[in-house]
Structure 1
Amino acid sequence: MATRRDEIDCWLTDMDGVLVHENQAIPGAAELIQQWTDQGKPFLVLTNNSSFTPRDLSARLRASGLVVPEESIWTSALATADFCASQMPGGSAFVIGEAGMTTALHEAGFIMTETAPDYVVVGETRNYSFEAITKAIRLINNGARFIVTNPDATGPSTEGPLPATGAIAALITKATGRDPYIVGKPNPMMFRSAMNRIGAHSENTAMIGDRMDTDIVAGIEAGLHTILVLSGISDVAEVNRYPFRPDEVIGSVAELLNREPVETEL
């Protein structure tokens, strides 16, 4: 694992709280992406949200002032499709989710079906239906394997928290007695599939995130150089709550702009 920033050749970074906040680019984020591009450093922007395709997310980031090509975006939907295809090439799935998830599975060679699918895949959606959840429960009881894109129990909205993938998965688990396999963060599987996408190795790859319980722990378990930014949900007190710690703690990605590492005092 790289211990110094100048040994890093490839970068993985979370999106919300690291590059953008409430649809606005965080100062320094656009310059950092340009710096990586100019230096020819492979990078991927990661998100646990499985609703959107990389093309959708690229357009959303562009509206926030960040130029990130769709091939530089890695979602939990892509990681889930990658995992399913590696386990059962040309398989079938029943999906509760949005276009981001169904498109990823289609492109991985999967067939969408409600009849004896190999997998039931649950991802992010704002339109969970009782009928679809009931169908998922019955298919799992009949032998379909249960996969979930990410464990987040709630998601943000302007009105307050919304139930998210983890909450729906808990409902299905309660009804079936079956726990899902979760592909997205904090499963380091998502980082490994991301590194495979850009031909990176853990020895020279860094992960930038704003959450200790997903970004940093998964980065440590994947053997990456980990950098926590304090521009998202974590503060220094949050860092000290955990038995592990990142390699670096910085205020924001602006501190990664061609400067020497600056360690925030804990």
Structure 2
Amino acid sequence: MIAFGDWWLFSLRAVKGIAQRAFGSRDFLRLSVEVGTNSVSVVAITGMFIGMVLAVQAYGQFHTIGLETSLGAVIHISVVRELGPVLAAVMLAGRVGSAMAAELATMRVTEQLDALACLGVDPVKYLAGPRLLAALFLLPLLTVLADVMGLLGSSLICLHVYNIDSFHYWRHTREFVKVWDVMVGLGKAFVFGGVLSLIACHRGFNSRPGAEGVGRAATEAFVVAFVAILMIDFVLAMLANTVYALVWPPTNAKVV
């Protein structure tokens, strides 16, 4: 509980750094390139192959009961609401979160953070603030990329490998994948981006001395962020379903 409280205080300082503009635009742009542009390829490849794997695994089950045309609705809503934001966040936690933690841990070990404090600069606001802002902005965009590539991959397998009727495939997609589902996925990505960046920065700032401490900080950043993403995804999924049921009561619509 003490560590959790310390993380919250750390997070508030980072948010204040964004509000007070405690960092320069050049630092933010550099981090945006690192978080966003350099992550495009891995997120795109992951999204496409997840969509393809879903199509391959689900086709056999749906084909046996004659509902293969409903794969468009099932796969696409799964990608948009769950797999897209979660996988994009996990990839970012592994590729960028660990790097953030290692970089800040190295600065801690070499006493660069102490030097900033001696110069009257709050190191949390100056260093964690732009990393938080970059993750908040760019993870939703990466999620859109993962969603699009997942839909392309699943559609390629369903329509051109298994020769599912394209009219009914896309009709079910239009009927069951709504704007609400897209917004839920993007909202999850926004939360995931903030959480994983704050966890990575917090682990880096609290690194143990030496090279072992830097490696341990990078490992802990990914592991803790991964577990946090799954836990938060469960909470947000329950919340989104509850809100949807209250605003739009369920009907008896069926996939045929």
TM-score scaled by structure 1?
0.27
In terms of Rg, which structure is larger? 2
- Name the structure with the higher helix share: 2
- Name the structure with the higher strand share: 1
